[in-house]
Amino acid sequence: MQYRRPKKNISGVLLLDKPLGYSSNQALQKIKLHYQAAKAGHTGTLDPLATGLLPLCFGEATKFAHFLTDADKTYIATIKFGITTNTGDAEGVVLAVKEANVSKMQLEQVCCQFLGLINQIPPMYSALKHEGKAMYEYARAGIEIERAARTVTIHNIEINALDKDIANITVKCSKGTYIRTLAEDIGAQLGCGAHLIGLRRTQTANYDILQAITLDQFEAMPPTQRALLLLPVDSAVQHLPAITLDADSSFYMQQGQAIWQTGSMPQGLIRLYNEQAEFLGLGEQQSDGKIAPRRLIVHKDL
């Protein structure tokens, strides 16, 4: 019988600089195996052709992964004008070639048209599901599925460089934004077409790529150093207000009971801590004034 190493109940957030050629899940599974983690999940898909910041949640941190999936993100995108492909990126088959003479002023004017709330039609070559299958599976079979437009927000577009028919831009956007689609739409507005030839995620919520570690660096470390890379569970919800509970309130909260708390409370979800500054989870004030538990974490020593 083959011996399997026991799984470890580790908790925390690892900031990975996902390498080229890996899907988000492939990168997650490699890290999960090294940690021997019992539970893990990633926080927003990056295509194999994309690199950059991929927060990975382990153990109790998986309870808060959706906050990172739903958070604003920042990307550095490289766009090739004059060529359109069936995938919207460099992996696809070329559909059309046109002359591209794009000036910086033209590009700035077009980019301004995409700021704020915009509608995007998700690409066929995407992981979006239809009747249980990813869209790219239908696309590879030559089947076109009608997709409803989705509203996303482009907070900012900065043009970093423009050299002939290649532009490098930084995009800050809401969840669900397809940068490939944005590149195609910019190219369409310019009248020459375009596709994405490079994409790197640099920010997710309050996390930055400068905090991330590469897969090669991670694998070169001894296990003791890898453990030190994990950020605290509450780093995923730092945008929420926080309160400290006394010993009695902390005890009852941990039992799943609503508790009274003096003073005015913030609206919405609240980070809860005990007097030892240990994160207990999230609560929310009810209509009767009590703070009710919404998502608690398990402490072995509490």
- Domains of the chain (ranges; CATH) run 12-70+207-236 (3.30.2350.10), 73-204 (3.30.2350.10), 240-296 (2.30.130.10)
CB 102 within 8 A of CB 190: yes
Q: State how far the Cα of 212 lies from the Cα of 142, in Å rounded to an integer.
A: 38
Q: pLDDT averaged over consecutive 10-residue blocks of the chain (302 residues)?
A: 68 97 94 94 88 97 96 98 93 92 95 96 71 69 76 97 95 95 96 96 97 97 95 96 95 94 86 96 92 88 44
pLDDT at 4: 60
Of 17, 47, 185, 234, catalytic = 47
Over residues 260-293, the pLDDT tens digits come to 987 788 889 999 999 999 999 999 999 888 999 9
Give this prediction's pTM: 0.91
pLDDT at 301: 47
* 47 catalytic per annotation: yes
Q: Would you mind telling me the total number of residues written for the chain in this entry?
A: 302
CB 214 within 8 A of CB 42: no
CB 52 within 8 A of CB 209: yes
pLDDT at 178: 93
pLDDT at 126: 65
Q: State how far the Cα of 210 lies from the Cα of 222, in Å rounded to an integer.
A: 21
Q: Name the DSSP class of 88.
A: S
